């Protein structure tokens, strides 16, 4: 339960529990309508929440009342935006349209958050699978590696490196980076890694090459 308050102390609300599904709150919690009243105390639904017959003790006075449900794309009601004012007749149709617009944007943000987290989780796993768990042992050559993101908090990209043993004691060092961030970049890098690995297995005698496309690139270095 979150509050954004104007001209009211936060501590005035922190001691109150989650609102109950009373007759006044029901349309908002069900997402069925947008109640707007010039004086909610005169509404026939008001004051029938026994043992209370109005706001709980210590609640700031409310006459003008506007409540807008926050509804997801699939119809789930996340919650509501509740506006109150001690004066009467404060909220008009313009205020209602503005509140409805804010609620719609809030619902989109709440819907997108788990989708973003899910996609980022997939991208992280894909990125992890692109990085070699261990490098191949090669006679006469010791290889060490460390992967560090470009900046703290950077989103997942398509970075990848690998060491590929070739014929005749040769070794290929491959570093790849797909432009962009997130699952798309990591997926492109995965495709490119597969292509480079296949090329190394089939056509290793052609020397040094560079593979590139519009939104991905790899640098191929060969040493003996």
Highest mean pLDDT among 12-26, 60-74, 180-194, 199-213: 60-74
DSSP result, 178-192 = ESS-SHHHHHHHHHH
Question: Domains along the chain?
Answer: 11-122 (3.30.450.40), 131-223 (no CATH)
Tell me, what DSSP letter sits at residue 85? E
- Say how far apart CA 172 and CA 23 lie, in whole Å: 72
pLDDT at 152 over 80: no
| pLDDT tens digit sequence for 114-134 | 877 877 777 777 767 767 777
Strand ranges for the chain from DSSP E:
36-37, 64-71, 77-85, 160-165, 171-178, 210-213, 216-223
Q: What is the pLDDT of residues 70-120, one digit of tens each?
A: 999 889 999 999 999 999 999 999 999 999 999 999 999 988 888 778 777
pTM of this structure: 0.56
pLDDT of residue 145: 75
In the chain, pLDDT over 90 holds for what percent of residues?
27
């Amino acid at each position: 339960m979150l509050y954004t308050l104007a001209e009211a102390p936060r501590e005035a609300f922190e001691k109150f529990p989650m609102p109950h599904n009373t007759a006044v709150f029901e349309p908002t919690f069900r997402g069925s309508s947008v109640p707007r009243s010039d004086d909610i105390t005169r509404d026939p639904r008001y004051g029938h929440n026994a043992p209370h017959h109005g706001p709980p003790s210590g609640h700031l006075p409310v006459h003008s009342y506007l409540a807008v449900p926050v509804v997801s794309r699939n119809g789930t009601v996340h919650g509501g935006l509740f506006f109150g004012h001690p004066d009467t007749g404060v909220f008009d149709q313009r205020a209602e349209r503005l509140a409805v617009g804010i609620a719609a944007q809030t619902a989109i943000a709440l819907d997108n958050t788990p989708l973003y987290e899910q996609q980022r989780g997939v991208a992280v796993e894909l990125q992890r699978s692109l990085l070699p768990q261990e490098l191949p042992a090669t006679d006469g050559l010791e290889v060490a590696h460390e992967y560090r993101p470009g900046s703290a908090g950077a989103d997942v990209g398509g970075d990848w490196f690998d060491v590929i043993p070739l014929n005749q004691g040769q070794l290929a060092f491959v570093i790849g980076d797909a432009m962009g961030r997130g699952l798309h970049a990591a997926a492109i890098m995965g495709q490119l890694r597969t292509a480079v690995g296949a090329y190394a297995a089939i056509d290793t005698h052609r020397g040094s090459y560079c593979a590139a496309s519009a939104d991905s690139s790899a640098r191929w270095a060969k040493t003996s």
